[in-house]
Amino acid sequence: METNFIIAGFGGQGVLLAGTVLANAFMIEGKNVTWYPCYGAEMRGGTVNCEIVVSDTEVSSVHKQDTDFALVLNQQSFDKFVQRVKSGGTIVANSTLVAESHPRSDIKYVFAPMTKIANDMGNGKVTNVVSLGVLSSVCKIVSKDFLAKGVEKVLGEKKKNLLPLNLEALENGAGSLALV
Amino acid sequence: MSDEKVLIKGNYAIAQAAVNAGCQCYFGYPITPQTEIGEYLSGKMQELDRAYVCAESELGAINMVMGAVSTGVKAMTSSSSCAVALMQEALSYAASDELPVVLVNVMRTGPGLGYIYPAQGDYNQAVYGGGNGDYKIIVLAPSTVQECVDLTYRAFYLAQKYRNPVILLADGLLGQMMEPASFGEYPYPEVDVSGWALTGAKGREARKIYSVAPDEKKQIQHIYDLHKKFEVITENETTYEEFNIDDAQIVLTAFGSMTRNIKAAMNVLRGKGIKAGCFRPVTLSPFPHKRISELAAAGKDFAVVEMNMGQMFKDVKYAVDGKSNVDLINRPCGEWLSVEEIVAGVEGVMQGGKTYAASI
């Protein structure tokens, strides 16, 4: 069983870091996982994305044409990656910055106000971790508990003081859909 | 270092493995997609009181490596494609001088300046060399981030063991991706270099390392000796991986990070009832000609899958030597051939026996 994720947003939203947390969570869970960033001559304000593939067996390929899940944090990413979601797949969007629309009928849509949730916590920078919380509530192979361990690993000893804030962001993201 | 797995980029894995292998000096000049190697070592080497020099150019960097390794210490440089092209003269000298230079090439797109997309277009540059004269380089091609670690260790060991330059041939995809890997300990013994290294002639006869050969007989002998050495390397160090080879009718063959994709394609083809196997050279030089020849003699066909216009393809053809069919499934650069494209390519090959090149 292999599942892939694209996480996308604009530069500065922490999408590569969100992908790193997700990939660490899968690694800690004992799964095979790869993380691959888009890399190129990117401009400030441009979009950035990374692709995470998780598999029970060896990962088949690191970079794929389509994706099971797209986690998009801004409008441009929604417009671009809604086309790349597999039929039957899911797009999870940050409704603070993405207008709700349903351009395809063969995929599932999840909208959550990720930036607003982060801002309400007093720190817009944790939008990326909020988004992972939302993802864990709609994707059963993404475990909130392992995401918490992933966050802890990525923060390390140096930034351990930020752990409570990030764990709260994860919880608030995971609980956000119940509020809608 | 422990056996604990860490999620790490290929470039950082190479850099940390070089540190563990005892690399005392790093000389380099930044270029995408391998800049993280120098970035990582710029801090790490200073921490460990080892040498890090951001050279004035790639020529400077490789010549500094030659200088450092001639004193018996382990040293390396890293670069990418068009900048490795600038180092070819030095590689010819290092091979002739029998210097244990370690060079990492994280391939991008060429020819010329090309671009930063991943590619595998430097197979010929690495295996056949761009320098002058009859020389050979050991070339190792990692396929996963774990192998970025393992083969960096091996590169340092083989370079000193055989006093021969070694290229670690990775690619942009492998350099930029993250995957769990563990470092363990550097697994090889330290090689005694006291018999040749330039460490100051106090109390012994002076030594010289040079490649000028004004004596014809001596030069002939030197070239014979270099090639005899490489025969020993070929005999002892040729390595490859095989999967489902015994009953395979068609053998998907790839090197580097494309290996993952051919293994997945093999599984899909097996599911469709096609007896596919996989073959993957770990050492591109020495190349496993002998094993491919045996497999061809057993009637197995080959489909070579690579991100270039058919460079390793020619080595496979040479090894097969007409004993079976060899086809090419390729794209020049950019997005790696997907599992679906490889499966379609193999099916096309098996139906028509025609070379299949994927469109962009």
Whether B205 is in a domain gets the answer no
The CATH number of whichever domain residue B174 belongs to comes to 3.40.50.970
Of A24, A33, A39, the CB nearest to B116: A39
Q: What is the pLDDT of residues A62-111, one digit of tens each?
A: 999 899 999 999 999 999 999 999 999 999 999 999 999 999 999 999 99
Place of tokens 């603070």: A96
Cβ-defined contact of B260 to A63 (cutoff 8 Å):
no
Peptide bond into A103 cis (omega under 30): no
**Per-block mean pLDDT, blocks of 10 residues, chain B (360 long):** 88 98 98 96 98 97 98 98 97 98 97 92 96 97 98 98 98 97 98 96 93 90 97 98 97 97 97 97 98 97 97 98 96 93 93 56
Query: Taking each helix axis from N to C terminus, what angle separates B311-320 and B289-297, rounded to the nearest 10 degrees?
Result: 60
Q: Is B263 on the interface with A (CB under 8 A)?
A: yes
Q: Indicate the burial class of B351 (C-beta count within 10 angstroms; 0-12, 13-18, 19 or more).
A: exposed
DSSP string computed for A125-174? GGHHHHHHHHHHHH-TTS-HHHHHHHHHHHHTTTTGGGHHHHHHHHHHHH
Give me the sign of the Cα torsion angle B189, B287, B233, B290.
positive
Q: Minimal Cα–Cα distance from B159 to chain A, Å? A: 31
Q: Are residues B189 and B267 in the same domain?
A: no
Token pair, residue B169, equals 């041939």
What gap in Å lies between CA B126 and CA B168, rounded to an integer? 9
What residues in A contact B339, CB-CB < 8 Å? 60-61
Task: Tell me which H or E stretch contains A26.
Answer: helix A15-28
What residues in B contact A39, CB-CB < 8 Å? 32-33, 116, 172, 176
The CATH number of whichever domain residue A98 belongs to comes to 3.40.920.10
What gap in Å lies between CA B105 and CA B349, rounded to an integer? 32
Place of tokens 């091979």: B95
CB count, 10 Å around CB of B211? 16
What residues in A contact B267, CB-CB < 8 Å? 60
Q: Are residues B247 and B277 in the same domain?
A: yes
Q: Is B116 on the interface with A (CB under 8 A)?
A: yes
What residues in B contact A62, CB-CB < 8 Å? 173, 177, 257, 260, 336
What gap in Å lies between CA A155 and CA A166, rounded to an integer? 10
Structural domain that includes position B291: 242-357
pLDDT for B354? 53
Cβ-defined contact of A36 to B177 (cutoff 8 Å):
yes
Q: What is the mean pLDDT of chain A?
A: 95
Whether B254 is in a domain gets the answer yes
- A118-151 burial by CB neighbour count: b if 16+ within 10 A, else e? bbebeebbbbbbbbbbbbbbbbeebbbebbbbbb
Residues 6+ apart with CB under 8 A from B140: B151, B154, B155, B158, B166, B167, B168, B169, B282, B283, B284
Identify whether the C-beta of residue B145 lies closer than 8 Å to the C-beta of residue B10.
yes
Q: Give the total number of structural domains in chain B.
A: 2
Indicate if the pLDDT at residue A160 is higher than 70.
yes
Q: Are residues B230 and B253 in the same domain?
A: no
Q: What is the pTM of this model?
A: 0.95
Cβ-defined contact of B5 to A20 (cutoff 8 Å):
no
What gap in Å lies between CA A61 and CA B261, rounded to an integer? 5
Whether B220 is in a domain gets the answer no
Structural domain that includes position A22: 2-179
Identify whether the C-beta of residue B26 lies closer than 8 Å to the C-beta of residue B75.
yes
CB count, 10 Å around CB of B208? 7
Nearest to A77 by CA among A126, A23, A114: A114
Pairing of strands B276-281, B250-253: parallel
pLDDT for B2? 67
What residues in B contact A61, CB-CB < 8 Å? 260-261, 264, 336, 338-339
Token pair, residue B216, equals 């014809």
Indicate if the pLDDT at residue A44 is higher than 90.
no
Q: Is B179 on the interface with A (CB under 8 A)?
A: yes
Interface residue of A61, A146, A152 to substitute, partner B, most B CBs within 10 Å: A61
pLDDT for B358? 53
The CATH number of whichever domain residue B296 belongs to comes to 3.40.50.920
**Cα separations (Å) of B81 from A115, B12, B109, B122?**
42, 19, 7, 7
Tell me the longest C-alpha to C-alpha distance in chain B. 72
Q: Are residues B118 and B160 in the same domain?
A: yes
Query: Lowest mean pLDDT: which of A38-47, A153-162, B29-38?
Result: A38-47
Whether B215 is in a domain gets the answer no
Q: Are residues B169 and B259 in the same domain?
A: no
Q: Are residues B232 and B291 in the same domain?
A: no
CB count, 10 Å around CB of A48? 22
Cβ-defined contact of A33 to B339 (cutoff 8 Å):
no
Interface residue of B179, B260, B269 to substitute, partner A, most A CBs within 10 Å: B179
Q: Are residues B251 and B147 in the same domain?
A: no
Token pair, residue B173, equals 């995809």
pLDDT for B168? 98
Nearest to B332 by CA among B353, B351, B313, B352: B313
pLDDT for B224? 97
pLDDT for B359? 47
Q: Give the total number of structural domains in chain A.
A: 1
Whether B168 is in a domain gets the answer yes
For a pLDDT cut of 70, what percent of chain A falls above it? 96
Indicate if the pLDDT at residue A179 is higher than 60.
no
**Cα separations (Å) of B75 from A21, A26, B42, B66, B78?**
34, 36, 14, 8, 11
What gap in Å lies between CA A70 and CA A77, rounded to an integer? 9
- For residue B290, how far is the Cα from the chain centroid? 19
Q: Are residues B158 and B172 in the same domain?
A: yes
